[in-house]
């Protein structure tokens, strides 16, 4: 079975999963539970450090030791169950109903800030039940789904064209270029404005500071989510996070108020008239304050999330120049030197393949779809009671070479035709990247890509094991071992 030997905790877990008799939650495997501290001592021991622990490596070690399901008890999150089998986790989505809940527990720093700042719209979005559903329903009408998204293509394309004119100036500042490009594209979508932050001669210093504060705020939030005990210590990282988010809210409010005033005066045209914010205003379903508060959060989240996704796509391609060239050929052939238009999207299967595979192998988050169970359910042979927070460790099964054998950028699952001089035509149907979670892995990938591109960086100066490929660190021991 999957090449595993019939011994150890993993085999025991598989046998239990095959059993028709569910076992109680108390028997779910996991590290030692301590009074008051829960699993925190073991968590920190595996990390080897208190500051900014490598959560991905820690959870990979849990997966190796306990198998497809394990139980933890950490500050803020409380007692929760981590599932590493997507087939098992599908049960969670099938039972959640119209009021899913649980994600806000992981994003507690943002909820803490929004409550302190009195941003009731964002508190509602991060809450549960009907308040969440109502606000989310109104916000989703003009931004989610392909038909709605395609309406913003001209604004996004224009932002990308303007940014590309300055790309050469960012040769050794990849981070700056991608984060500023992300802000420009998202700002064009949200308010119909082209801030051109990639052009330092034209950019508004306030916009450049917004980009910096957004990235810092989300970076600090990521660290705080890995160090939940800091919720009880208002200084240090918590104070820095609150300050960054405060600066983001002030600038976001200025941008929103500027457009709202013009909309009320009927002084908008062009991209601004077709912006997401203009559509929200015309619908009349949200108040001015709700639209303003929403925009602030969208701009900040858009900068962080978009920049991470873009960085991974570009860096994955940088490590595979043959695939990069093929993608370039496809774009050149379809676009013919013109802009990306709606009709061209369906003619770019290789582009879609690269994006999908980059998402699959280098996801921007470690856990997918955290949820509180609305009812008792059985996972891998264990009965988990209603109200329990469950998480999907989506990187675990993707990094296990026994379960995901394709560890190269081969594009084998989207029907991309390929030809070889010495072989008959074949069809690649699944994109596959060398493995590489979020900003920590992003830093490693940048170093790898730069090493391949620059002969000046000798391999003698590279830390051992820096550029991990294929089976990644699967055969390594526990973190810190």
Residue for token digits 């090449």?
A: 3
**What CATH number did the domain enclosing 118 receive?**
1.10.630.10
Q: Is 352 within the bounds of a domain?
A: no
* Residue 142 falls inside a structural domain: yes
Token readout for 152 is: 């913003």
CA angle 109, 112, 114 (to 5 degrees): 110
Is the domain of 271 the same as that of 125? yes
CA angle 34, 40, 45 (to 5 degrees): 110
Q: What is the CATH number of the domain that holds 371?
A: 3.30.43.20
Verify that 97 and 111 share a domain, yes or no. Answer: no
Residue 475 lies in a domain: no
Between CA 472 and CA 361 the distance in angstroms is 11
- Whether 383 maps to a domain, the answer reads yes
Looking at the predicted structure, is the pLDDT value of residue 465 above 80?
Answer: no
What is the domain extent for residue 98?
Answer: 8-103+365-399
Domain-ending residue, one of 350, 382, 399:
399
pLDDT, residue 475, reads 35
pLDDT of residue 424: 37
- Which is higher by pLDDT, 119 or 72? 72
Which residue do the tokens 């900040």 mark?
300
What mean pLDDT value characterizes the chain?
A: 77
Of 376, 399, 422, the one marking the end of a domain is: 399
Q: What is the pLDDT of residues 346-374, one digit of tens each?
A: 899 999 989 888 887 777 777 877 888 98
Provide the 8-state DSSP code for 67. -
Of 53 and 321, which is predicted with more confidence?
Answer: 321
The tokens describing 85, both together, are: 């089998």
Residue pLDDT, tens place only, 136-186? 777 778 887 778 888 899 999 999 999 999 988 888 888 889 989 998 998
Q: Say if 454 falls within a structural domain.
A: no
379 pLDDT higher than 70: yes
* Spatial separation of the C-alpha atoms in residues 177 and 164, rounded to whole Å: 10
Q: Is 467 part of any domain?
A: no
233 shares a domain with 178:
yes
Q: Are residues 151 and 90 in the same domain?
A: no
Burial of 322 by CB count in 10 Å (0-12 exposed, 13-18 middle, 19+ buried)? exposed
User: In this predicted model, which residue has the larger pLDDT, 15 or 42?
Assistant: 42
User: Are the C-beta atoms of 80 and 71 separated by less than 8 Å?
Assistant: yes
Most confident of 8-22, 43-57, 429-443: 43-57
Q: Is residue 427 part of a domain?
A: no
pLDDT band of residue 70 (cuts 50, 70, 90) is very high
Q: What confidence tier does 56 reach under pLDDT thresholds 50, 70, 90?
A: confident
Collect all residues with Cβ–Cβ distance below 8 Å to 24 and sequence separation of at least 6.
382, 383
Instruction: Indicate the pairing of strand 377-379 with strand 69-74.
Output: unpaired
Question: What percentage of the chain exceeds 90 in pLDDT?
Answer: 22
Band of residue 401 on the pLDDT scale cut at 50, 70, 90: confident
Q: If DSSP codes are grouped into helix, strand and coil, which group holds residue 74?
A: strand
- Tell me if 49 sits within 8 A of 356, measured CB to CB: no
**Range in 43-47, 86-90, 230-234, 248-252 with the lowest mean pLDDT:** 230-234
Domain count, the chain: 2
**Which token pair is 293?**
């508060």
**Do 186 and 80 fall within a single domain?**
no
Residue 141, both tokens: 């009408």
Q: Which of 292, 280, 211 is nearest to 254 (CA)?
A: 292
pLDDT for position 79? 86
Q: Do residue 36 and residue 115 come from a single domain? A: no
DSSP 378: E
Question: By C-alpha distance, which of 378, 337, 478, 356 is closest to 428?
Answer: 356
| pLDDT for position 105 | 63
Q: Rounded distance, CA 359 to CA 353, Å?
A: 10
Q: Based on the domain organization, do 111 and 132 belong to the same domain?
A: yes
What is the C-alpha to C-alpha distance for residues 145 and 143, in angstroms, rounded to an integer?
A: 7
The pLDDT of residue 388 is 92
Read off the pLDDT band of 5 (50, 70, 90). Answer: very low
pLDDT value of position 234:
81
What pLDDT, on the 0 to 100 scale, is given for residue 10?
53
Within a domain: residue 336? Answer: no
Do both 21 and 133 map to the same domain? no
- Structure confidence at residue 245 as a pLDDT band (50, 70, 90): very high
Segment among 37-51, 363-377, 455-469 with least mean pLDDT: 455-469
For residues 281 and 234, state if they share a domain: yes
Q: So what's the pLDDT on residue 381?
A: 93
The pLDDT of 267-271, averaged and rounded, is 85
Whether 35 and 119 share a structural domain = no
Question: pLDDT tens across 439-459, in order?
Answer: 444 544 444 444 444 433 333
Instruction: Please tell me the predicted confidence (pLDDT) of residue 290.
Output: 84
Confidence bin at 306 (pLDDT 50/70/90): confident
Domain check: are 150 and 225 in the same one?
Answer: yes
Domain boundary pick from 379, 399, 419: 399
Question: In this structure, are 51 and 169 located in the same domain?
Answer: no
pLDDT of residue 439: 47
The label of the residue with tokens 């059985």 reads: 378
């Amino acid at each position: 079975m999957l090449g595993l030997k019939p011994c150890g905790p993993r085999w025991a877990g598989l046998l239990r999963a095959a059993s028709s008799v569910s076992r109680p939650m108390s028997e779910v495997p996991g590290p030692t539970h301590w009074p008051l501290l829960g699993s925190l001592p073991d968590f920190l021991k595996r990390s080897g450090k208190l500051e900014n622990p490598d959560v991905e490596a820690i959870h990979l070690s849990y997966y190796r030791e306990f198998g497809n399901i394990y139980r933890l008890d950490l500050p803020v999150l409380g007692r929760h169950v981590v599932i590493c089998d997507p087939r098992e986790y599908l049960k969670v989505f099938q039972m959640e109903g119209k009021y899913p809940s649980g994600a806000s527990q992981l994003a507690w720093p943002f909820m803490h800030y929004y409550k302190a700042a009195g941003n009731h719209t964002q508190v509602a979005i991060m809450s549960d039940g009907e308040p969440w559903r109502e606000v989310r329903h109104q916000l989703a009408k003009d931004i989610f789904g392909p038909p709605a998204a395609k309406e913003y293509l001209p604004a996004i394309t224009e932002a990308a064209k303007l940014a590309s004119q300055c790309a050469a100036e960012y040769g050794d500042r990849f981070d700056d270029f991608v984060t500023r490009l992300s802000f420009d594209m998202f700002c064009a979508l949200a308010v119909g404005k082209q801030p051109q932050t990639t052009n330092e001669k034209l950019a508004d210093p306030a916009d450049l500071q917004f980009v910096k504060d957004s990235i810092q705020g989300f970076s600090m939030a990521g660290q705080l989510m890995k160090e939940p005990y800091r919720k009880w210590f208002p200084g240090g990282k918590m104070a820095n996070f609150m300050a960054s988010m405060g600066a983001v809210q002030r600038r976001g409010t200025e941008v929103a108020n500027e457009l709202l005033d013009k909309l009320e005066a009927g002084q908008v045209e062009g991209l601004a008239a077709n912006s997401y914010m203009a559509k929200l205003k015309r619908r009349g379903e949200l108040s001015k304050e709700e639209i303003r508060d929403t925009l602030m959060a969208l701009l900040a989240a858009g900068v962080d999330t978009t920049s991470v996704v873009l960085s991974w796509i570009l860096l994955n391609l940088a490590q595979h120049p043959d695939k990069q060239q093929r993608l370039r050929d496809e774009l050149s052939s379809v676009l013919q030197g013109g802009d990306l238009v709606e009709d061209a999207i369906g003619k770019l299967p290789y582009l879609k393949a690269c994006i999908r595979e980059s998402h699959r192998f280098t996801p921007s988050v470690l856990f997918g779809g955290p949820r509180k169970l609305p009812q008792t359910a059985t996972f891998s042979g264990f009965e988990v009671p209603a109200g329990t927070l469950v998480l999907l460790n989506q990187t675990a099964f993707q990094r296990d070479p026994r379960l995901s054998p394709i560890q190269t950028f081969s594009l084998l699952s989207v029907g991309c035709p390929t030809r070889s001089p010495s072989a008959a035509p074949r069809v690649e149907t699944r994109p596959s990247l060398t493995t590489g979670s979020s900003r920590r892995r992003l830093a490693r990938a940048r170093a790898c890509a730069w090493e391949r591109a620059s002969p000046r960086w000798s391999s003698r100066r590279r830390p051992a094991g820096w550029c991990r490929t294929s089976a990644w660190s699967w055969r390594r021991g526990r973190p810190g071992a």
